[in-house]
Amino acid sequence: MAVHFHEEDLPAGVLADGPIAVDTETMGLVTRRDRLCVVQLSDGGGDEHLVRFAPGSDYAAPNLKAVLGDPARLKLFHFARFDLAAIEYYLGVTAAPVFCTKIASKLTRTYTDRHGLKNLVTELLGGDISKAQQSSDWGGAELSEAQRDYAASDVRYLHRLRDVFEQRLEREGRREIAQACFDFLPTRARLDVLGWPDHDIFSHE
């Protein structure tokens, strides 16, 4: 197991075929204002890859875009809505198809309101991850080892969590509604970027 660090793009051929776990780090929570700094990926084989973008980056990243935009490769996220918006706005890619562990958790773990990644890893996998670096500065010239470890941990467990949630969605008869939610996520993210982050356009008001 190792964390691999790359500047501006993902090297070709470093990921195995199949689903990939994806996460992003940005300068804040407002997509248009707070630039994309890091994209993390894992193919589930034990290594994680971090792609860092410098201030003023043109976000060309052809290898990364090819992976994220591959319609034959499932992308695993936790709270995909935010990451999809950042990826589309800065990289110009719709990263679909999608599986979101946060949505899967809300559809199956209805006995709790604790759906954070740390909660899922602790309860379902018996592991533990630190969130100490969650609000740190991701735009600096260097990323600390603590930041790199934190970023890697956000994709390290998603393949295993997906396996758990696939079973639970089937057990509870909610696989179909989950898939409908996953399919809608790129559109929901696009609405966020276009200026409808909070308003429910399906409501009467």
Whether residue 203 lies inside any domain: the answer is no
Q: Is the pTM of this model over 0.85?
A: yes
Whether residue 202 lies inside any domain: the answer is no
The contacts of residue 8 (CB under 8 Å, 6+ apart) are 51, 52, 53, 54, 57, 60, 61
Alpha-carbon dihedral sign for residues 122, 126, 130, 134: negative
The pLDDT assigned to 141 comes to: 85
Sorting pLDDT into bands at 50, 70 and 90, what band is 199? Answer: confident
The pLDDT assigned to 12 comes to: 97
Sorting pLDDT into bands at 50, 70 and 90, what band is 83? Answer: very high
CATH of the domain at 188: 3.30.420.10
Alpha-carbon dihedral sign for residues 102, 191, 183, 77: negative
Cα distance between residue 105 and residue 122, in whole Å: 13
Task: Collect contacts of 170-178 with beta carbons under 8 A, ≥24 apart.
Answer: 171/108, 172/107, 172/108, 174/107, 174/108, 177/107, 178/103, 178/104, 178/107
The pLDDT assigned to 133 comes to: 67
Q: For 157-190, b where at least 16 C-beta lie within 10 A, e where not — what string?
A: bbbbbbebbeebbeeeebbeebeebbeebbeebe
pLDDT, tens digit, 9 for 90 and up, residues 124-159: 999 988 776 667 899 988 899 999 999 999 999 999
Cα distance between residue 201 and residue 138, in whole Å: 33
Tokens 């190792």, residue located: 2
Sorting pLDDT into bands at 50, 70 and 90, what band is 205? Answer: confident
Alpha helices (H) along 31-157: 62-68, 80-91, 101-108, 117-125, 145-156
Domain that holds residue 12: 3-194
Whether residue 166 lies inside any domain: the answer is yes
Average pLDDT over residues 148-171: 97
Whether residue 169 lies inside any domain: the answer is yes
Whether residue 199 lies inside any domain: the answer is no
Cα distance between residue 163 and residue 145, in whole Å: 29
Enter the tokens of residue 7: 């500047």
Whether residue 187 lies inside any domain: the answer is yes
Whether residue 11 lies inside any domain: the answer is yes
The pLDDT assigned to 33 comes to: 97
Cα distance between residue 139 and residue 142, in whole Å: 8
Enter the tokens of residue 191: 């609405």
Mean pLDDT of the chain: 95
pLDDT, tens digit, 9 for 90 and up, residues 10-51: 999 999 999 999 999 999 999 999 999 999 999 999 999 999
Whether residue 64 lies inside any domain: the answer is yes
Domain count for the chain = 1
